[in-house]
Amino acid sequence: MTDRYAVIGHPIAHSKSPLIHAAFARQTGQDLEYTRILSAPDAFVDTVRCFFGDGGQGLNVTVPFKEAAWRLVDEHSPRAATAGAVNTLIRLPGQRLRGDNTDGVGLVRDLAGNHGFDFAGRRVLLLGAGGAARGVLRPLLESGLAELLIANRTLDKAAALAAAVADLDPGGATVHACGLADLGPVAFDLIINATSTGLTGAVPAIAPSVLAPGAWTYDMIYADSPTPFCRWGLSHGAARAIDGLGMLVEQAAESFFLWRGMRPETAAVIDLLRRR
């Protein structure tokens, strides 16, 4: 029988996840279907229970339900526990659910695996302290980087995130926080935009001096044309300015692995999406 998976969100029509998982299934010869589920904000829990009650095998969860999914599950992976958000629901025996979060590993694999960024010993600046930033923290800290500075418009939120990961002992990395306005003369090897500014065509207000010579920029959103933050990076001398399309495909590949036990090849799928 064909196994059923889906992505649930509100809105959901724009989601590329069905296309990505259909490509993974074709490539690996897996018999599965993957659809979109639009859930009203107050119907999320019932919709999820109904999906699994009807024999569904797994769900991806997107905006605005990742925190609700975190509260719903019976157990969390360590990275989901740190994220406070779940983007992958895995069916366990006895109608129990496990929640995982594959966003951070998607980010790190895209940078390190697809683009060849070597995290070892690097200074990384993470812009933003909302759900998107928190979602990627643990894998980022496990990447081998030397220093992570979380900078946010609202300092308190950045400080809270830094404090939340202080006990993780992430391989000796230093983690600290500051307000966006307080970014000093220190420069970074990689600057990741996890703010929601791109949705309005803006970029966080930061000085180009945060870019070390040869620094890369990474925008966690993607678009058909270069995002505002990619344009900012390129116009200020970043060696590479990458958008989040590869992260999208890599987080999907990790979900696919959690469900099916096999890793799809991602490069061809990233190309496919880039050309659409």
Give the integer Cα–Cα distance in Å for 125 and 208: 13
Q: Does the footprint of ligand ATR cover residue 10 (CB under 6 A)?
A: no
Candidates 92-100, 141-149, 162-170, 193-201: pick the segment binding ligand ATR (CB under 6 A): 193-201
Outline where DSSP puts E strands in the chain. 3-9, 32-38, 58-61, 75-76, 88-92, 96-100, 123-127, 147-152, 174-179, 188-193, 211-219, 240-242
Residue type, position 185, single letter: P
Q: How far is the CB of 41 from ligand ATR (least distance, A)?
A: 15
Q: What angle do CA 244, 17, 106 make, to 5 degrees?
A: 40
66 among known catalytic residues = yes
DSSP H stretches of helix in 180-244:
228-235
Candidates 189-197, 209-217, 224-232, 266-274: pick the segment binding ligand ATR (CB under 6 A): 189-197
Choose among 222, 223, 224: nearest CA to 251: 222
Comparing CB distances to ligand ATR, the nearer of 23 and 180 is 180
H/E stretch holding 162: helix 155-165
Chosen residue from 62, 77, 195, 227 binding ligand ATR by CB under 6 A: 195
List phi, psi (to 5°) of 151: -115, 130
| Beta strands 88-92; 96-100: pairing state | antiparallel
Compose the 89-128 pattern: x for residues touching ligand ATR by CB under 6 A, - for all others: ---------------------------------------x
Tokens (6 digits) for 206: 């930061």
Question: Which one of the listed residues 15, 24, 51, 66 is annotated catalytic?
Answer: 66
Compose the 136-175 pattern: x for residues touching ligand ATR by CB under 6 A, - for all others: ----------------xxx--x------------------
Q: How far is the CB of 221 from ligand ATR (least distance, A)?
A: 9
Q: How far is the CB of 118 from ligand ATR (least distance, A)?
A: 27
Q: How far is the CB of 72 from ligand ATR (least distance, A)?
A: 18
Q: Which of positions 202-261 make contact with ligand ATR (CB under 6 A)?
A: 202, 204
Contact footprint for ligand ATR (CB under 6 A): 128-133, 152-154, 157, 180, 195-197, 202, 204
